[in-house]
Structure 1
Amino acid sequence: MVDSQSAAEPIRYRLIMTLLAAVLATGICLVEPPAGLSPAGQRLGAVVVAMALLWSTQAWPLAVTSLLPLAAFPLLQIQAADEVSKAYMSATILLYFSGFAIAIGVERWGLHERLALFCLRVLGTGPRRIVFAFMFGTALISMWISNTAAALLMLPIALAVLPSISQASLAGKGGEDPAAKEQASNREQRFAVALLLGIAYAASIGGICTLIGTPTNGVYAGYWASAAADRPEIAAKYAVSSGQWFLMFTPISIFLFAAAWMVLCFPLERRWTVGEEAREYIGKRYAALGSMDQAEWAMLGVFIGVAFLWLTRASVEIGSVTLIGWEVVLGSLLSSADGSWDYSGWLHDSTAGLLMMTLMFVIPVRPRGQEHRQFLMDWESIEAKTPWGILLLFGGGFAIAGACSSTGLSAWLGDVLADQLAGLGDGGRITVVTTFVIFLTEFTSNTATIATLLPILESTANSLSLDPRLLMLPATVAASCAFMLPIATPPNAIVFSSNRLTVWQMIKAGLWLNLLSVAVVVCFTLFWVLRVASLGN
């Protein structure tokens, strides 16, 4: 029976936070607007403060808070209802919808488990290599499905492997000596910490290098997509395709992966040996999958096809070399056959995603052990498993970004922030922004944080006469680098729920990785993203 006082706590907390948000918003609306800020911008600021409080405290469900602009903006004459509603069904949101649908197909036919177990079979022998194998498999999967799903997949496998590592094999020739047993127990605990945190960290790091790998990347892409209506030339200049994103941020992801592995494996002794039971368990799990059936092969074809189309759609410039995208090739072929076809501005990565998604509904397959054929995907599965709340969170962020631009709030905040950064060089500015975002997202939703910060950072960069991507890109990547606390990201919370970790263990490893992330993001932004990808001041 639920204790009445315990049941009342969440109700009281939500009501208190709601009242506090309303009081703060009302107070902001009643004071005299600061110099340079329009009344509409002030009212928008009140709504943003209220939403930031509700997002950060999670007093309301994140998706419900994300719906506030649809009601508040028209009522406060910030933006018309028709205008604000467009933010909730943009090309970027459809890109994520198609990505979620394909990921559901991958999970439905077990491709993700096959890939994970294959990586463990090939790479895992000693404790350090087992940690590497789990991290590699998790990172590879999280490039294409959500980091939450990747962590949920790998955690049960890790928890099954841990008991198979006997204390005797870790202790070496310790026999039954109590001191040797204690030493073995300590070693096993250090290994468990490294393995579980490795899964959480790799799930976040792997998503950095693809545009659909983590929601924050999609927020950046959607920001410029939503700006295309009012500022088409600027939006076209700063928009990033999936191929360009992969080229820019894969090196950062690789270095962060290496840094995480070294931080976690540093306490592990090299002379450890792992018993055969761990390897046998992984081998048996993989063998139990059997050979790939017709459904798996078809799903693999869809997966490879959409990945190829995403990565090669737009042309990518690397210094003086240009890699021609398929949209250019297709336009040239059609032009030679029938008039003039130019796909510039017509196609989006969501075009390829939705095309491949619809193919899943018309490809018939016969799964192993079934007499009758069925289609690769059905709508009921999409409807049940799509994280609709994440799509609404995107919409709320895009609505805020659009209103910040139209009301002048982002320009005003940008001027204020620019005054603080004026005396710093590019490296100092990137360091300040990166450090701020990394440690802020330890306590707040990374998607909501980036959705709120991007318009402010663009205006700040404009006030400082900088390329806005100098601040916006590292901030976006930094939002995926919160490694210290269980509440920072879903993968952190998932591995913490195993009851094999303490908060202090997470803080010790996560703090070092947070600091290393600042250095990696700053260095690669300056010397790779901005120079090789032709993103200068």
Structure 2
Amino acid sequence: MDAFGDMSTYVWHRLPLILLFGGGYLVYQLMAATRLTSSFVTWVLHKSRGGSGRLVFYIICATAMLSSFIPNTIAVLTLLPVLQKLDREYSKQGVSGMTTPLMCAAIYGAAIGGMGSMIGSPANAILFGALDVFEVPGRDSVTFFNWFLWSIPLSVLFVIAAWAVVALLGLPASVRGVDIELACLAGECRTTKRQRYGASLFWLYMGFWIGEAFLREASTEFAAVSPVVCLIFTAVFLYLAFVRSAPDDGHAAGPLLKVRDMLNGIPRRGLMFILVLAALFAIVHWLGLDEKAMVLVGRMLQGDMPELLLFFLTILSVVFLTEILSNTAVVAAFFAIAFYAATGHGMDPLYIMIGVSVASTCAFMTPIATPTNALAFGEMRGASLRVMVGLGFVLNLVGACLLTLWLSAILPIVY
């Protein structure tokens, strides 16, 4: 009975967080159902005016914005038809070697978007579970609102770094001076009333959760009733999405979402690469290679060293292990490693555990790092593995330095 009471109290305490992540999935589905994602991508790329350097920058930005609120794989799949069309247009103008830079730009943007918001990566959900398991002090101070205080500047830094790597090291010399015409097709650059209604629900979702996080920090009275308020908001949001009729745009009528929509959007493109990826991870786990790698890295972090060096080595280990091992397995193991390493060195474990969660999204180097990478590599025929690994290796090193310097400086201020 006590165990049940403790569990129910815990669930009630974490109910706003559960509803936040669940609502994030609904936001993704309504954006897909109204074709807001494809319209947004087409509009953003049209603004680049076709210059190769600007185009790469806009691809990274568009994917990062999308993947902050929808699954990375879906964000990349949304861009794939556009990327393939751009690749063909470059080929028609005699430019070869653009396949890999275009693919990498989308992959980098998706990974960066994962750190952009609290709901941007599944690793963040695991993070909050680990913080509760280890009873890390200050864990309740991490909110949807203050996550943006440090994640948005970090995402901007990563966008600049990713663009520099692709533009300076990845673009072929033959692309200089070549512009691609990006025409709007079938009114894709114009939004319908139905899409604007869907966008209004997105901003309603964002506004509520940012306001909820702010009020919960500012008022203990509101914090006590926050689960009830969040339940009421979720009920209203479900009504607006599933019951209330949205404007008719000629393609769809009635409510924005139907129950069957919750099972739609399962990516099928590049499915073979996903199956190969799953088989590879299974073999690695069966051989015990993942556990051996975690033990080896854990021993490396046990020695006496400066706090900044410990932070950097932890981040660097997560970044590169994520390239060859399951993302979930890496973060699940490293939350424990980071907690004990931090406490052993007299550090606040909250900061380094957040760093582990963010670092796990930095899968820039290999096709097997994430399903997103596998899908993009499989669909972009002609992509160079050598170029992908080379560019990703550079960005991984730059990213590890950025994460270490920024997070170690800003997190103690925010939390």
After TM superposition, the score normalised by the length of structure 1 is 0.64
Q: What are the Cα deviations for residues 450-497 of structure 1, in whole angstroms up to 9, with x where unaligned?
A: 123213322332233221023212111110112111010122112211
Corresponding residue number in structure 1 for 2:193: 294
Summarize the Cα distance change of 1:465–1:110 in structure 2 as closer, same or farther, 3 Å threshold: same
Please report how far the alpha carbon of residue 271 of structure 1 lies from its aligned counterpart in structure 2 after TM superposition.
Answer: 7.5
Corresponding residue number in structure 2 for 1:382: 262
Summarize the Cα distance change of 1:445–1:82 in structure 2 as closer, same or farther, 3 Å threshold: farther
Identical positions, percent: 24
- What SS does the corresponding residue of 1:165 show, helix, strand or coil? helix
What does residue range 339-488 of structure 1 map to in structure 2 within 5 Å? Answer: 341-344=221-224, 346-347=226-227, 356-369=237-250, 373-385=253-265, 417=298, 420-488=301-369
Please report how far the alpha carbon of residue 516 of structure 1 lies from its aligned counterpart in structure 2 after TM superposition.
Answer: 0.7
- What SS does the corresponding residue of 1:499 show, helix, strand or coil? coil
Summarize the Cα distance change of 1:303–1:504 in structure 2 as closer, same or farther, 3 Å threshold: same
Aligned length: 380
Give the letter aligned to residue 520 of structure 1.
L
Tell me the distance in 2 between the aligned counterparts of 1:265 and 1:358.
46
Q: 2:149 aligns with which of 247, 250, 268?
A: 247
Partners of 1:109 and 1:295 within 8 A in 2:
yes
- What SS does the corresponding residue of 1:488 show, helix, strand or coil? coil
Corresponding residue number in structure 2 for 1:500: 382
Bigger RCO of structures 1 and 2 (CA < 8 A, at least 6 apart): 2
Q: What are the Cα deviations for residues 250-307 of structure 1, in whole angstroms up to 9, with x where unaligned?
A: 22211111111111111434982335xx32xx3232x533743332121111101111
Q: Does 1:513 align with 2:415?
A: no
Partners of 1:252 and 1:524 within 8 A in 2:
yes
Corresponding residue number in structure 2 for 1:194: 101
Partners of 1:442 and 1:488 within 8 A in 2:
yes
Tell me the distance in 2 between the aligned counterparts of 1:434 and 1:362.
45
Give the letter aligned to residue 201 of structure 2.
V
Corresponding residue number in structure 2 for 1:35: none
- What SS does the corresponding residue of 1:484 show, helix, strand or coil? coil
Corresponding residue number in structure 2 for 1:103: 28
Partners of 2:20 and 2:209 within 8 A in 1:
no
Tell me the distance in 2 between the aligned counterparts of 1:349 and 1:462.
36
Partners of 2:115 and 2:358 within 8 A in 1:
yes
Summarize the Cα distance change of 1:290–1:462 in structure 2 as closer, same or farther, 3 Å threshold: closer
- What SS does the corresponding residue of 2:383 show, helix, strand or coil? coil
Summarize the Cα distance change of 1:236–1:366 in structure 2 as closer, same or farther, 3 Å threshold: same
Tell me the distance in 2 between the aligned counterparts of 1:255 and 1:116.
21
Corresponding residue number in structure 1 for 2:115: 208
Corresponding residue number in structure 2 for 1:37: none
- What SS does the corresponding residue of 1:115 show, helix, strand or coil? helix
- What SS does the corresponding residue of 2:183 show, helix, strand or coil? helix
Please report how far the alpha carbon of residue 85 of structure 1 lies from its aligned counterpart in structure 2 after TM superposition.
Answer: 11
Please report how far the alpha carbon of residue 223 of structure 1 lies from its aligned counterpart in structure 2 after TM superposition.
Answer: 3.0
Corresponding residue number in structure 2 for 1:129: 54
Partners of 1:367 and 1:373 within 8 A in 2:
yes
Tell me the distance in 2 between the aligned counterparts of 1:204 and 1:504.
20
Q: Does 1:272 align with 2:191?
A: no
Deviates more, 1:478-487 or 1:357-366: 357-366
Please report how far the alpha carbon of residue 362 of structure 1 lies from its aligned counterpart in structure 2 after TM superposition.
Answer: 2.7
Corresponding residue number in structure 2 for 1:309: 208
Q: What are the Cα deviations for residues 213-233 of structure 1, in whole angstroms up to 9, with x where unaligned?
A: 111122223433x44xx95xx
Corresponding residue number in structure 1 for 2:290: none
Please report how far the alpha carbon of residue 383 of structure 1 lies from its aligned counterpart in structure 2 after TM superposition.
Answer: 4.0
Please report how far the alpha carbon of residue 130 of structure 1 lies from its aligned counterpart in structure 2 after TM superposition.
Answer: 1.0
Corresponding residue number in structure 1 for 2:272: none
Partners of 2:304 and 2:345 within 8 A in 1:
no
Corresponding residue number in structure 1 for 2:76: 151
Give the letter aligned to residue 306 of structure 1.
Y
Q: What are the Cα deviations for residues 42-90 of structure 1, in whole angstroms up to 9, with x where unaligned?
A: xxxxxxxxxxxxxxxxxxxxxxxxxxxxxxxxxxxxxx99999999996
Tell me the distance in 2 between the aligned counterparts of 1:419 and 1:436.
10
Corresponding residue number in structure 1 for 2:37: 112
Corresponding residue number in structure 2 for 1:4: none
Tell me the distance in 2 between the aligned counterparts of 1:167 and 1:359.
46
Summarize the Cα distance change of 1:442–1:419 in structure 2 as closer, same or farther, 3 Å threshold: closer
Partners of 1:263 and 1:509 within 8 A in 2:
yes
Gaps of 5+ in 2: 268-293
Q: What are the Cα deviations for residues 398-445 of structure 1, in whole angstroms up to 9, with x where unaligned?
A: xxxxxxxxxxxxxxx99x958944421111100110111111111222
Summarize the Cα distance change of 1:119–1:213 in structure 2 as closer, same or farther, 3 Å threshold: same
Corresponding residue number in structure 2 for 1:138: 63
Tell me the distance in 1 between the aligned counterparts of 2:92 and 2:204.
46
Partners of 1:102 and 1:303 within 8 A in 2:
yes
After TM superposition, the score normalised by the length of structure 2 is 0.81
Gaps of 5+ in 1: 1-79, 169-183, 315-324, 333-340, 388-412
Deviates more, 1:502-511 or 1:289-298: 289-298
Tell me the distance in 1 between the aligned counterparts of 2:300 and 2:365.
31
Corresponding residue number in structure 1 for 2:283: none
- What SS does the corresponding residue of 1:462 show, helix, strand or coil? helix
Partners of 2:33 and 2:256 within 8 A in 1:
no
Tell me the distance in 1 between the aligned counterparts of 2:45 and 2:397.
29
Please report how far the alpha carbon of residue 103 of structure 1 lies from its aligned counterpart in structure 2 after TM superposition.
Answer: 0.5
